[in-house]
Structure 1
Amino acid sequence: MNKEEFFERIKGQMIISCQAIPGEPLYVEEKSVMYLMARAAKMAGTPAIRTSSIRDVAAIKEETGLPVIGLVKIQYPGFEGYITPTMKEVDELAAVGSDVIALDCTLRKRGDGKTVNEFMTEVRQKYPDAILMADISNYEEGINAWKLGMDIVGTTMSGYTEDSPKTDGPDYELVRRLAETVDVPVIGEGKIHYPDQAVKMLDAGAFAIVVGGAITRPLEIANRFMAAVKNR
Structure 2
Amino acid sequence: MATKTKAYVNQQRVKKRLFYPVCKRSFDMIASLLALLLLSPLFLVIAVRIKLEDGGPVIYSQTRLGKNEKPFKMYKFRSMVQNADQIKQQLLDQNEVEGAMFKMKEDPRVTKTGKWIRKYSLDELPQLVNVLLGDMSLVGPRPPLPSEVAEYTDYDKQRLLVTPGCTGLWQATVRNKASFDEMVSLDIEYINKASFWYDCWIIFMTVKIMVFPNSAY
Assess same fold via TM > 0.5.
Answer: no
Relative CO higher for 1 or 2, CA cutoff 8 Å, sep ≥ 6? 2
TM-score normalised over the length of structure 1: 0.27
**Greater helix share, 1 or 2?**
2
**Structure-2-length-normalised TM-score:** 0.28
